[in-house]
Amino acid sequence: MKRAVGVLLLICLLGATGAQEQSRPSVAQQILPLLHEQMVAANAHDTDRFLATFCHDASLLFVINGEVIRGFDNLHEQQIKWWNHGKSDTTYTEQTPPDINSLSSKTVLVTQQLASRRTMPDGKPCEGKLVITTIWRRLPAGWRVIYCHESHAR
């Protein structure tokens, strides 16, 4: 009888653990809303909102077309310039669904393909394609970008 109760207790505990795992959102379910928020913020040219999903310290590394920007403060300053203090008319659209790959329980690699459209100083439209690769880490504050590589594609 004691053995049967012990086995039943073990089955209940294992079942409860499995139910907890099933109720926890997948990594993609956790990252996708953050990517959506980045896209909304980018199209609003809201630097603070866009960078809210990035690591806010000197360890952040951002690479764009061969230029390396180190640290959150430096990226924040540059992003304000790129978006002309929120006055840019650049729009971004997703070309393919993001490719989200777990590297570990606390690290995720994301690759995105975006299209952009803006008006040049001469008034002519300019269209481009971007490939963005980010590494996200689960920090105490939640998922944050710790590394980003952005390049223009042909």
Instruction: Identify whether 14 is part of a domain.
Output: no
Q: How far apart are CA 154 and CA 67, in angstroms?
A: 19
Whether 1 is covered by a domain: the verdict is: no
Which pLDDT band, with edges at 50, 70 and 90, does 7 fall under? very low
| pLDDT higher than 70, residue 97 | yes
Residues 54-67: what's their mean pLDDT? 96
Domain count, the chain: 1
Segment 105-126 mean pLDDT: 96
Kindly tell me if the per-residue pLDDT of 112 is higher than 90. Answer: yes
pLDDT tens digits along 28-43: 999 999 999 999 999 9
| Domain-located, residue 10 | no
Q: Is 13 inside a domain boundary?
A: no
pLDDT for 3 equals: 55
How far apart CA 79 and CA 148 sit, in angstroms, is 13
Question: What value does the mean pLDDT take over residues 92-98?
Answer: 97
Residue 129 is predicted with a pLDDT of: 97
pTM check: above 0.75: yes
CA distance 108 to 1: 48
DSSP the chain: -HHHHHHHHHHHHHHHHHHHHHHSPPHHHHHHHHHHHHHHHHHHT-HHHHHTTB--STT-EEEETTEEEESHHHHHHHHHHHTGGGT---EEEESS--EEEEEETTEEEEEEEEEEEEE-TTS-EEEEEEEEEEEEEEETTEEEEEEEEEEEE-
Mean pLDDT along residues 57-77: 97
Give the domain range for residue 86: 27-153
Q: Which CATH number fits the domain that encloses residue 49?
A: 3.10.450.50
pLDDT reported for residue 145: 98
